[in-house]
């Protein structure tokens, strides 16, 4: 039985998700883009924010064989997108998507994070993994972004979402690059990530690998302050470059 801040996963949920971790970890370096390999347990994924980055990542995970609920405050506006993605994709409210999912992707403007924490923090703390692709951008998000940057983006998200198993990832690469990287052959592209929970890091690594990236956990969530646009780790980099750069950061 996994417990976390007083919120329990059921034993069945835990075993299913643990099985997914093992299976995802069992295919290093392999982008599972065209279809799920037989026997792999799919993970139910929710995207909170289904715009550029949430819509793109959710689409790639649908194409990798995972059921995804894309959420919006206006889910009817997502109908065309989910219809085009087939039966694994559906649309819902934020609340419905969180209830549906094993794993949640946060892909909203940072100014939305305090409200998401207030409204959904407890439900998010019951998840095995919450991927945080959000970035505090002062000109877009206002004062909360200054606060988050001073604290460090990872620790700020943890304060807004207490007890949540957060892994920062996908923060410093433009959404438009993701589909081409998911399909490409050849040298691996690294995905810098930061998180405190070993199981959440493993689960996130599997999902990252499935859409064509080699996961590189650069350290605990406190290192998430380095995962922002226009920082040394931003852009398309090899895993080795990411490791070298990360070694110079504290
Ligand atoms: N664009 C990129 O290439 C990129 C790359 C890495 C990281 N990021 C980061 O990812 C986040 C999203 O960026 P984006 O470019 O994808 O933005 P976007 O295209 O504007 O999409 C943002 C989404 O957030 C949802 N949203 C806004 N406020 C919300 C709230 N209070 N509750 C629930 N959902 C809310 C919106 O959905 P509704 O209005 O339909 O509810 C919208 O679908 C940002 O923090 C950004 O810095 C972006």
Q: Is the CB of 50 under 6 A from ligand 1?
A: yes
Tokens of 61: 């995970």
135 within ligand 1 shell (Cβ under 6 A): yes
Closest CA to 101 of 110, 114, 92, 109: 92
Say if residue 34's pLDDT is above 50. Answer: no
The CATH architecture to which 3-247 belongs is 3-Layer(aba) Sandwich (3.40)
Between 10 and 73, the more confident residue is 73
To the nearest whole number, what is the mean pLDDT of the chain?
A: 89
pLDDT at residue 28 in the model? 37
Give the tens place of pLDDT for each residue, 208-244: 999 999 999 999 999 999 999 999 999 999 999 999 9
Whether the predicted model's global pTM rises above the 0.85 cut = yes
Mean pLDDT, residues 168-173 taken together: 98
- For residue 1, what pLDDT is reported? 27
Task: Supply the DSSP symbol for 236.
Answer: S
Side-chain-side CA neighbours of 114 within 13 Å: the count stands at 9
Lowest mean pLDDT: which of 23-27, 40-44, 114-118, 208-212?
23-27
User: Whole-angstrom Cα distance, residue 56 to residue 63?
Assistant: 11
Higher-pLDDT residue of 22, 1 = 22
Q: What is the mean pLDDT of residues 106-133?
A: 98
Q: Name the more confident of 30 and 117.
A: 117
Question: End-to-end distance of the chain based on CA atoms, in angstroms?
Answer: 35
pLDDT of residue 232: 97
Cα separation of 156 and 244, whole Å? 26
Mutate to test the pocket of ligand 1, among 46, 47, 50, 51 (most ligand atoms within 8 A of CB): 51
Q: Which DSSP symbol is given to 108?
A: S
């Amino acid at each position: 039985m996994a417990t976390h801040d007083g919120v329990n996963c059921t034993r069945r949920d835990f075993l299913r998700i643990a099985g997914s971790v093992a299976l995802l970890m069992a295919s290093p370096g392999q982008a599972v883009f065209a279809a799920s390999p037989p026997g792999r347990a799919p993970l139910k994924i929710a995207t909170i924010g289904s715009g550029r980055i949430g819509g793109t990542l959710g689409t790639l995970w649908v194409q990798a064989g995972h059921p995804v609920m894309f959420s919006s405050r206006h889910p009817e506006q997502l109908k065309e997108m989910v219809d085009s993605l087939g039966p694994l994709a559906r649309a819902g409210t934020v609340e419905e998507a969180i209830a549906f999912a094993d794993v949640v992707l946060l892909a909203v403007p940072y100014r939305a994070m305090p409200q998401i924490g207030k409204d959904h923090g407890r439900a998010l703390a019951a998840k095995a993994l919450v991927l945080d692709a959000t970035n505090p951008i002062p000109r877009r998000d206002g004062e909360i972004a200054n606060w988050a940057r001073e604290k460090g983006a990872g620790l700020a998200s943890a304060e807004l979402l207490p007890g949540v198993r957060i892994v920062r990832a996908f923060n410093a690469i433009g959404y438009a690059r993701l589909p081409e990287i998911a399909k490409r052959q050849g040298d691996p592209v690294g995905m810098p990530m930061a998180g405190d929970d070993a199981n959440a890091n493993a689960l996130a690594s599997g999902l990252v690998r499935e859409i064509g990236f080699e996961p590189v956990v650069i350290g605990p969530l406190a290192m998430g302050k380095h995962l922002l646009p226009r920082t040394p780790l931003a852009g398309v980099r090899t895993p080795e470059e990411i490791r070298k750069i990360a070694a110079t950061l504290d």
